Amino acid sequence: MRGVIEIVPTHVVREGGGFMVRRPFRMGKVMSPFLLIDEMGPVDYGPGEAKGAPWHPHRGFETVTYLLDGRMRHEDSEGNIGELNPGDVQWMTAGRGIIHCEEPHEEFFRTGGKMHGFQIWVNLPAANKMMKPRYQEVPVSESPVVEQDGIWARVIAGECMGKSSNIDTKIPITLIHVKMEKDVSLVQQIESNLNGMIYVFGGEISIENEIRVRKHPMPFGIEAKQQIKDGELALLSEGGEINIRSKSSSEFLILAGPELNEPIERYGPFVMNTREEIHQAVLDYQNGTLANKNEE
Ligand code: FE2
User: For every one of its 296 residues, what pLDDT tens digit does the chain have, with 9 covering 90 and above?
Assistant: 888 888 999 999 888 888 889 998 877 667 899 999 999 999 999 999 999 999 999 999 999 999 999 999 999 988 889 999 999 999 999 999 999 999 999 999 999 999 999 999 999 999 999 999 999 999 999 999 999 999 999 999 999 999 999 999 999 999 999 999 999 999 999 999 999 999 999 999 999 875 445 555 555 444 445 899 999 999 999 889 999 999 999 999 999 999 999 999 999 999 999 999 999 999 999 999 998 755 55
How many A from CA of 235 to the centre of ligand 1?
25
User: How remote is the CA of residue 190 from the centroid of ligand 1, in Å?
Assistant: 29
C-alpha 121 to ligand 1 mean position (Å): 9
Please tell me the distance between residue 58's alpha carbon and the centre of ligand 1 in angstroms. Answer: 7
Q: What are the distances in angstroms from CA 127 to CA 61, 96, 121, 132, 138?
A: 11, 11, 17, 12, 26
Q: In the prediction, which pLDDT does 31 show?
A: 83
How many whole angstroms from 63 Cα to the centroid of ligand 1? 7
Q: In a 3-state reduction of DSSP, which class is residue 275?
A: helix
Which CATH code fits 4-258? 2.60.120.10
- Position 215 scores a pLDDT of 53
What pLDDT, on a 0 to 100 scale, did the predictor assign at position 2?
A: 87
d(CA 169, CA 94): 13
Alpha-carbon distance 6 to 30, whole Å? 10
Instruction: State pTM to two decimals.
Output: 0.92
According to the model, what pLDDT value does residue 210 have? 55
Please check whether residue 151 is in contact with residue 184, taking contact to mean a CB–CB distance below 8 angstroms: yes
Q: How far is the CA of 179 from the centre of ligand 1 (A)?
A: 27
Question: Residue 53: which of 10, 12, 14 has the closest Cα?
Answer: 14
Sheet hosting strand 98-104, strand order edge to edge:
53-58, 98-104, 72-76, 81-84
- Give Cα 110 to chain centroid, integer Å: 28
pLDDT at 232: 95
Distance 36 CA to ligand 1 centre (A): 12
User: What sections of 13-61 are H helices per DSSP?
Assistant: none
C-alpha to C-alpha distance for 244 and 146, rounded to whole angstroms: 17
pLDDT at residue 17, rounded to an integer: 82
